[in-house]
Chain A
Amino acid sequence: MNRNPLTEIAADLWRDKTGLFGLTVILLLIVLVVFGPVLAPHEPGAINLAARLKPPAWLDGGSWARPLGTDHLGRDVLSRMIIGARASLLVGASVTAIAGTFGSILGIIAGYFGRRVDSAIMRLVDTQVAFPGLLLAIIILAVVGPKLQTVIVVLCLNGWMVFARMARGIVLTVREAPYVEAAEVIGCHPIRVVWRHILPNLLAPMLTLAVLEFARVILAEAALSFLGVGVQPPDTSWGLDLATGKNYLFRAWWLVCFPGLAITVTVLGANLFANWLRIVADPHEREKLFAAAVVAEEGAAP
């Protein structure tokens, strides 16, 4: 059996429909982010007071010119969501990537080297956790001025600790595994021990954590935008739309529901994809899946 690894991965993905769904969602979002301005039917900031709070097309009073309706200033909800995806996903992805990498590295160092290094890093984590995150964010953003980059930095500042704690915990348990000792007895450099033998164990739980954090970060960005220190109008994000739309919850549910749905589907897609990745990264799980597929195709052995 000498197959191209890419075709093999594709076949795996085809077998796992939920993982495929997750990947499709992620790819769609990437297309949305890249081609947003071309795809959006209207200018997202274009105000049309004559067409305020129009419902989605399939309801009475809606029109297909504005498929998902309009907000309180008559702006097209669909266009705003397409453009708003850029800010939301940029913040969500970059914060989880930066905070996740930074936190994991510190956590691994703390867990692997232990003793003083561990105490120093973990006290830093405790100190950072003790600060109320939102308050710190507001202060920094108020002083420096609300810009997207600043929002990212600020959210990283209160997002890395959970990664550090989780990574440290896992490293502490894996470090005692006999195969890690075996690697050290072989003569592996500590970096190689961490890279080859400890890191693969972190992949699954850290991915899961990253997906959860991704959702939290999108919501945190929404909170900051709502408080006026995040994304500034006329720019937009899902969180900002969600926050402003909630004032019209009973008169125009679509202002809240569609951005909210977008966040939900994004998080769900990322979750399903991460789950598939976790299984594929584990040879034991993979073999089980493969066996199940063979049984499904050829029937169980008599």
Chain B
Amino acid sequence: MTALLKADNLSVAFDMGWQGWLPPRRLSLRAVDGVSLTIDRGETLGLIGESGSGKTSLGRAILRRLPLAGGSVTFDGIDVTRMSGAPLRRLRRRMQMVFQDPYASLNPRMSVGDIIAEPLSVHRLGSPGDAADRVAAVLEMVGLPADSASRYPHAFSGGQRQRIGIARALISEPEFIVADEPVSALDVSVRAQIVNLLQDLKSKLGLTTLFIAHDLAVVRHISNRIAILYAGHLVELAPTESLYSAPLHPYTEALLSAVPATTPGKMAARRRIVLKGEPPSLLSPSAGCRFASRCPKKTARCEIQAPPLEERRPGHLAACWEA
């Protein structure tokens, strides 16, 4: 398989203003710090991290929605790191996004048909005449009734709205989609429907997806590989089965132990790892492992030197000295 998307040593920093005087120091928060990953054509990569781990920033940086503090992004062999203006807008046809909030991400003043058809008119795809047909086709694909096009977003439920968001992302026939926590704002009962829909679409259209989530249960079914982000660092990157059956990083172990078991007996039998403390401040990160302050397996070396992300088993990468 060939890589459709390649992020190399990617960093995102947010300017937090100045601190002190004599000399004044520029404060910057490194939300994403030196992340390298590739996503193969047709693959779904699950990206997991807790709030503030930088997963959303990473997703937006890959789509070139955020200014990069360092590193490069390559899409389909094209270096898009410095792309801007019209070429970047043209590229947007090929890389789309599904948003977290299905309520706020649809313009309340536009009809559903207009919302979904907008990429067509922006990129001048097809004639205005067959836009309606394409909207109808994509509505059917995401499982919405054909008469939805003339209605407004407020007439729909959360799950239906997310289907509208997916339809908008799909109509320009993109190759790559970033789904930024597409189900975390939805009711639990609707989540499975949307995840299944995304999975169907993926196999039907051969989509390449970066699926961002904060819980492991959701991404397990849909992802080929999973990346775990902690405090802006990639700590583990592995094929789904390998990660679930034998996680290497202590943080991943702790995450997996928090997934509820299907039967009560299993839950009791399992060792639950409870992490103490908070993730480290990203304003003044230490030189050592970011996870050291909360790690049950910490050694002296962890505090001084950050572990590199290395292949520990075939295809299974982890950043831990003890793995």
Cα distance A185–B98 in the bound complex, in angstroms: 10
**Which one, A20-28, A146-154, A282-290, is touching chain B?**
A282-290
Known: A186-B168, A282-B109. A192 touches B122 (CB 8 A): yes
Q: Are B122 and A187 in contact (CB under 8 A)?
A: yes
Whether a CB of chain A sits under 8 angstroms from the CB of B119 is yes
Q: Are A284 and B104 in contact (CB under 8 A)?
A: no
Q: Are A200 and B90 in contact (CB under 8 A)?
A: no
Q: Are A182 and B105 in contact (CB under 8 A)?
A: yes
Chain B residues in 8 Å Cβ range of A192: 122
Known: A283-B152, A283-B154. A187 touches B104 (CB 8 A): no
Chain B residues in 8 Å Cβ range of A284: 108, 152, 154
Select one of B100, B122, B154 contacting A186, CB under 8 A. B122
Select one of B93, B99, B101 contacting A187, CB under 8 A. B93
Q: Are A185 and B65 in contact (CB under 8 A)?
A: yes
From residue 166 to 201 of chain A, which have CB atoms closer than 8 A to chain B?
177-179, 181-189, 192, 196-197, 200-201
Interface string of B113-135 (1 = CB under 8 A from A): 00000110011000000000000
Whether a CB of chain A sits under 8 angstroms from the CB of B183 is no
Cα distance A191–B154 in the bound complex, in angstroms: 26
Number of interface residues of B (CB under 8 A): 30
A185, closest chain B residue (CB) = B97
Chain A residues in 8 Å Cβ range of B89: 187-189
A286, closest chain B residue (CB) = B152
A106 to chain B, nearest CB (A): 23
By secondary structure, the B interface counts as loop
Q: Are B93 and A178 in contact (CB under 8 A)?
A: no
Cα distance A178–B92 in the bound complex, in angstroms: 17
B122 to chain A, nearest CB (A): 5
A286 to chain B, nearest CB (A): 9
Chain A residues in 8 Å Cβ range of B106: 179, 182
Chain A residues in 8 Å Cβ range of B90: 187
Q: Are A183 and B154 in contact (CB under 8 A)?
A: no
A176, closest chain B residue (CB) = B104
Interface string of B76-113 (1 = CB under 8 A from A): 00000000000001111100110111001111111100
Cα distance A196–B90 in the bound complex, in angstroms: 19
A191 to chain B, nearest CB (A): 12
Number of interface residues of A (CB under 8 A): 22
Cα distance A187–B107 in the bound complex, in angstroms: 16
Chain B residues in 8 Å Cβ range of A197: 107
Chain B residues in 8 Å Cβ range of A188: 89, 118, 122
Q: Are B97 and A283 in contact (CB under 8 A)?
A: no
Whether a CB of chain A sits under 8 angstroms from the CB of B63 is yes
Q: Are B168 and A187 in contact (CB under 8 A)?
A: no
Known: A192-B122, A287-B152. A185 touches B108 (CB 8 A): no
Chain A residues in 8 Å Cβ range of B65: 181, 184-185
Cα distance A181–B63 in the bound complex, in angstroms: 12
Chain A residues in 8 Å Cβ range of B96: 185-186
Known: A185-B92, A287-B152. A179 touches B118 (CB 8 A): no
Chain A residues in 8 Å Cβ range of B154: 283-284, 287
Cα distance A177–B107 in the bound complex, in angstroms: 9
Q: Are B152 and A179 in contact (CB under 8 A)?
A: no
Cα distance A123–B286 in the bound complex, in angstroms: 42
Cα distance A200–B111 in the bound complex, in angstroms: 13
Known: A192-B122, A282-B109. A187 touches B152 (CB 8 A): no
Chain A residues in 8 Å Cβ range of B122: 186-189, 192
Select one of A186, A200, A282, A283 contacting B118, CB under 8 A. A186
From residue 37 to 89 of chain B, which have CB atoms closer than 8 A to chain A?
63, 65, 89
Q: Are A177 and B104 in contact (CB under 8 A)?
A: yes
B92, closest chain A residue (CB) = A187
B65 to chain A, nearest CB (A): 7
Cα distance A51–B280 in the bound complex, in angstroms: 89
Chain B residues in 8 Å Cβ range of A283: 108-109, 111, 152, 154
Cα distance A126–B10 in the bound complex, in angstroms: 41
B148 to chain A, nearest CB (A): 14
Cα distance A185–B101 in the bound complex, in angstroms: 15
Interface string of A185-221 (1 = CB under 8 A from B): 1111100100011001100000000000000000000
Q: Are A186 and B152 in contact (CB under 8 A)?
A: no
Select one of B91, B99, B109, B118 contacting A178, CB under 8 A. B99
Cα distance A189–B87 in the bound complex, in angstroms: 11
Q: Which of B89, B106, B107, B168 has the most CB of A within 10 A?
A: B107
Cα distance A184–B92 in the bound complex, in angstroms: 9
Q: Enumerate 10 A-B pairs (CB-CB under 8 Å) in ascending A order.
A: A178-B99, A179-B107, A181-B99, A182-B106, A185-B63, A185-B65, A187-B119, A187-B122, A187-B123, A188-B89
| A-B pairs with lowest CB-CB distance, top 6 | A187-B92, A178-B105, A187-B89, A178-B104, A179-B107, A283-B152
Hey, which bits of chain B sit against chain A, CB under 8 A? 63, 65, 89-93, 96-97, 99-101, 104-111, 118-119, 122-123, 152, 154-155, 165, 168, 172
- Other A-B contacts than A178-B104, A181-B65, A186-B118, 20 sampled, CB-CB below 8 A, are A179-B106, A181-B99, A182-B97, A182-B165, A183-B107, A186-B96, A186-B119, A186-B122, A186-B172, A187-B89, A187-B90, A187-B119, A188-B122, A189-B89, A196-B118, A201-B109, A283-B109, A283-B111, A283-B152, A287-B154
